[in-house]
Amino acid sequence: MTEKKAEAPVQEPAPAPEAAGKIWKLQGKFPALADYLVFFGIFLLAQVVGAVTALLVGCKWPDQTLLASADETVSTAEQVLVGHFNAVSYFVAMALTLVGFLFYRSRRRGPKIIAHFSSRGLNPVLLLWGVVFMLATSVVLEPLLSLLPEVPNAYGRGAWAIVTVVVMAPLFEEVIFRGVLLESTRAKYGVMAAWLVSSAVFGIVHVHPTVAVNAFAIGLVLGFVYMRTDSLWSTIILHAVNNGIAYLALVTGHGNAMLIDLVGSRTLYVLIYIGALAVFAVSGYMMLLALRRLKGEDKNRAAA
pTM, two decimals, is: 0.86
Q: Quick check: is 208 in a domain?
A: yes
Task: Give the residue-averaged pLDDT of 220-233.
Answer: 94
Gap between the terminal Cα atoms of the chain: 74
The 10 Å Cβ neighbour count of residue 102 is: 16
Of the pLDDT bands very low, low, confident and very high (cuts 50, 70, 90), residue 274 is very high
Q: Quick check: is 120 in a domain?
A: yes
Q: Quick check: is 258 in a domain?
A: yes
Distance CA 96, CA 54 (A): 14
Same domain, 215 and 133: yes
Q: Quick check: is 209 in a domain?
A: yes
Q: Residue 231 gets which letter from DSSP? A: B
Task: Give the residue-averaged pLDDT of 272-293.
Answer: 95
Checking if the pLDDT of 88 tops 90, the result is yes
Same domain, 122 and 192: yes
The domain boundary, picked from 54, 89, 110, lies at: 110
Distance CA 121, CA 225 (A): 8
Q: What percent of the chain has pLDDT over 70?
A: 89
H-assigned helices in the chain: 19-22, 33-56, 64-67, 72-107, 124-145, 159-162, 169-173, 182-189, 191-204, 209-229, 232-251, 259-263, 266-303
Q: Is the peptide bond before 31 cis (omega within 30 degrees of 0)?
A: yes
Q: Quick check: is 4 in a domain?
A: no
* Structural domain that includes position 129: 114-150+158-298
pLDDT at 23: 46
Same domain, 100 and 196: no
The domain boundary, picked from 49, 83, 110, lies at: 110
Answer with the residue of higher pLDDT: 135 or 299: 135
Q: Quick check: is 280 in a domain?
A: yes
Same domain, 56 and 99: yes
Of the pLDDT bands very low, low, confident and very high (cuts 50, 70, 90), residue 109 is very high
At residue 42, φ and ψ (nearest 5 deg) are -60, -45
The number of distinct structural domains making up the chain is 2
Of the pLDDT bands very low, low, confident and very high (cuts 50, 70, 90), residue 301 is low
pLDDT digits (tens, 9 = 90+) for 10-46: 555 554 444 444 444 555 789 999 999 999 999 999 9
pLDDT at 195: 97
Distance CA 241, CA 186 (A): 26
Of the pLDDT bands very low, low, confident and very high (cuts 50, 70, 90), residue 303 is low
Query: 10-14, 66-70, 77-81, 253-257: which has the highest mean pLDDT?
Result: 77-81
Dihedral sign for Cα atoms in the order 23, 24, 29, 32: positive
Same domain, 141 and 280: yes
Task: Give the residue-averaged pLDDT of 227-252.
Answer: 91
The domain boundary, picked from 110, 139, 173, lies at: 110
Answer with the residue of higher pLDDT: 275 or 256: 275
pLDDT at 258: 81
Answer with the residue of higher pLDDT: 39 or 263: 39
Same domain, 91 and 220: no
Checking if the pLDDT of 296 tops 80, the result is yes
Same domain, 144 and 286: yes
Distance CA 78, CA 197 (A): 37
